[in-house]
Amino acid sequence: MHKPSQTHLSIVKRLLRYLKGTLYYGLHLRHASSMVVTTYFDVDLVGNMDDRTSTNAYMVFLGSNPIS
């Protein structure tokens, strides 16, 4: 950024405090016999007829571990 303000500094400080508080968080992956990446999608095209919007979701697994 070419002109950071005091607001930007306070946002960065808040982000750093958050990251410091979550330093030891993480994913606990269980060993699986097959470490295959599997992805599931659910899509509802134009599911809301009032404003013609679509809804979608996804889930990604590494073996039996959800990762996204």
Full-model pTM? 0.51
Tokens, residue 26:
């993480």
| DSSP letter (8 states) at residue 36 | -
Question: What was the pLDDT predicted at 1?
Answer: 65
Distances in Å between the Cα of 42 and the Cα atoms of 35, 36, 38, 50, 65 are 23, 20, 14, 20, 19
pLDDT recorded at residue 6: 93
Residuewise pLDDT in 10s, the chain (68 residues): 688 899 999 999 999 999 999 989 887 788 878 889 999 999 888 777 788 788 889 999 998 888 88
Residues sharing a CB contact under 8 Å with residue 52, sequence separation 6 or more, in sequence order: 46
- Would you kindly state where each structural domain of the chain is located, as residue ranges? 6-66
Distances (CA, A) of 30 to 5, 16, 24, 53: 45, 30, 18, 38
Q: Looking at residue 35, what is its pLDDT?
A: 86
